[in-house]
Amino acid sequence: MSIWKRHLTLAQMNELGSRCSLAHLGIEFIAQGEDWLEATMPVDQRTKQPMGLLNGGVSVALAESVGSLAGFLCVEEPQAVVGTDINASHLRPVRDGFVTARATPIRLGKRVQVWQIDIRDQQDKLCCSSRLTLSVI
């Protein structure tokens, strides 16, 4: 059974991010299932730290972006969601290519949502595991 209460196409999701940090970082929503949302991001000069690795803070920005949009799609008008807490464990360095983040719900409550966001490299190896808490407003 689907968890989504708002129904946007991937094109509409990407349009929402076209004039903000998502576009600057190259984040693109690429797939959606009954209880998950996925986005990809390039590992390039925009997203690397000075030592040539994917910047951990940028990984967190990816996690919060995909988790927040997923949370937004799980509430009805006029509700929205805002992030209140995020943590991330950086498990493996990424030097190039792209990464893919998948957000899946841990809890979808009336006032609080908790999302697990796993970020994987092109070899499908887990490089970052993040948990996002959203308040429903």
Q: Which domains does the chain have, with CATH numbers?
A: 10-136 (3.10.129.10)
Q: Residue 120 burial by CB count (10 A; 0-12/13-18/19+): exposed, middle or buried? A: middle
Q: Say if CB 34 and CB 2 are below 8 A apart.
A: yes
* pTM for this entry: 0.96
Residue 62: the pLDDT is 98
64 tagged catalytic: yes
Query: Residues 43-52: contacts with CB within 8 Å, 24+ apart?
Result: 43/94, 43/95, 43/96, 43/97, 43/98, 43/99, 44/96, 52/95
Which candidate in 15, 34, 38, 64 is catalytic?
A: 64
Confidence of residue 1 (pLDDT cuts 50, 70, 90): confident
